[in-house]
Amino acid sequence: MVYFPWDGSGLVWNEYCRDNYKVIPTGSKTGRAIIFFSGNGLYFPNTKEEFTEKVIRQNRYEWENISSDRLIRQHYELVILVRDVYKQWYVNGINPSYNSVDKVAGLLREITSGFEVTTCGSSAGGYAAVLFAGLMGAERFFSISGQFSIVDQVAEEKAPFVYYNASHSDKNKYYDISVITHRGGGYYLWPSECEIDKAQHELVKDNPTLTILPFKTKQHGSTIPSYCFPYLLSRTKEELSSILSRVKHDTPINPHFFAFRIMPGFTFVRYAGEWLIRRAARYIVKPFMKILRL
């Protein structure tokens, strides 16, 4: 049995028939564009109620908050948000007009013609960031806990569209992108204690075109603090090379140590302080208040 949202629901089809991409001019004249790809965290759990709330009512794209950050808007002239409402690694593209990876790549090439392009995404969005960067000839990509092979998803209940298209050469040719090489350079950030990511890392650990950054975290999709991303994504390649030369790549990196390296000192202290306060409220204050109520 195939479950929502892959069960032929008219609710999802109606949203699939929309553009499912946004192009946002920032006003900065930098000649740079960044494309953020939504992953399978676009909505969860896979229920009609959650889909209605996140996709229909909120019109949500992943990375919206980070893409609206002042640093991103200063560094990039164009911000582009892309999503696959079926959450199937973009196998069927983003809408009926652009219903394949190749057609989406053609659309994005047209939109970003003349721009220096960066792509970014997490998990399935990270897979898309690598794939489309290669197809578009992008300057660089950032894959956060992304997949390099979705061959293991060829199981009807896990990923129905991947399963249905497994025998179609125009679709399945991108199921394994682990041998991809990239002229501009790509950054792969992954949680070193997550079993899912360990398997994906094994596929590319010897790829010389990747800058691989392991982080001492356990959760899939979790690498550096979210407040650090605008600083990472707005660094030039030369600045990143200088910063990363002082970071050990052969042992898992403490996410907050990395943030300290990427961010200005005072800014890091402010954000880190806010993060500590939120953690304290979650793990100390709230449990203590529950005890008092008892």
CATH (domain of 49): 3.40.50.1820
Of how many residues is the chain composed? 294
> Is 2 inside any structural domain?
no
Q: Quick one: 288 and 202 in the same domain?
A: no
Q: Are 159 and 151 in contact (CB under 8 A)?
A: no
> Is 5 inside any structural domain?
no
User: Buried b vs exposed e over 247-268: b needs ≥16 C-beta within 10 Å?
Assistant: eeeeebbebbebbebbbeeeeb
> Is 123 inside any structural domain?
yes
pLDDT of 245 reads 87
Question: What distance in Å separates the CA atoms of residue 198 and residue 195, rounded to the nearest whole number?
Answer: 5
Q: Quick one: 216 and 288 in the same domain?
A: no
Nearest to 271 by CA among 234, 222, 230, 242: 230
> The domain containing residue 288 runs over which residues?
266-294
Q: Quick one: 130 and 276 in the same domain?
A: no
> Is 3 inside any structural domain?
no
Question: What distance in Å separates the CA atoms of residue 244 and residue 261, rounded to the nearest whole number?
Answer: 9
- Cβ partners under 8 Å of residue 230, min gap 6: 66, 69, 70, 71, 72
Mean pLDDT over the full length of the chain: 91
> Is 257 inside any structural domain?
yes
Q: Quick one: 250 and 287 in the same domain?
A: no
Q: Quick one: 185 and 151 in the same domain?
A: yes
Q: Are 251 and 226 in contact (CB under 8 A)?
A: no
pLDDT of 56 reads 98
Question: What distance in Å separates the CA atoms of residue 99 and residue 20, rounded to the nearest whole number?
Answer: 11
Q: Quick one: 148 and 251 in the same domain?
A: yes
**Looking at the 3D structure of the chain, how many domains does it have?**
2
Q: Quick one: 95 and 236 in the same domain?
A: yes
> Is 4 inside any structural domain?
no
> Is 30 inside any structural domain?
yes
* pTM assigned to the model: 0.92
pLDDT of 175 reads 96
Q: Quick one: 69 and 201 in the same domain?
A: yes
> Is 151 inside any structural domain?
yes
Q: Quick one: 160 and 198 in the same domain?
A: yes
Q: Quick one: 249 and 278 in the same domain?
A: no
Question: What distance in Å separates the CA atoms of residue 15 and residue 11, rounded to the nearest whole number?
Answer: 7
Which residue stretches of the chain have pLDDT < 50? none
Please state, in angstroms and as integers, the Cα–Cα distance from residue 117 to each residue in 37, 70, 113, 188, 282, following that order.
13, 18, 9, 17, 39
Q: Quick one: 168 and 282 in the same domain?
A: no
Q: Quick one: 233 and 284 in the same domain?
A: no
Nearest to 76 by CA among 103, 49, 41, 116: 116
Per DSSP, the three-state class of 57 is: helix
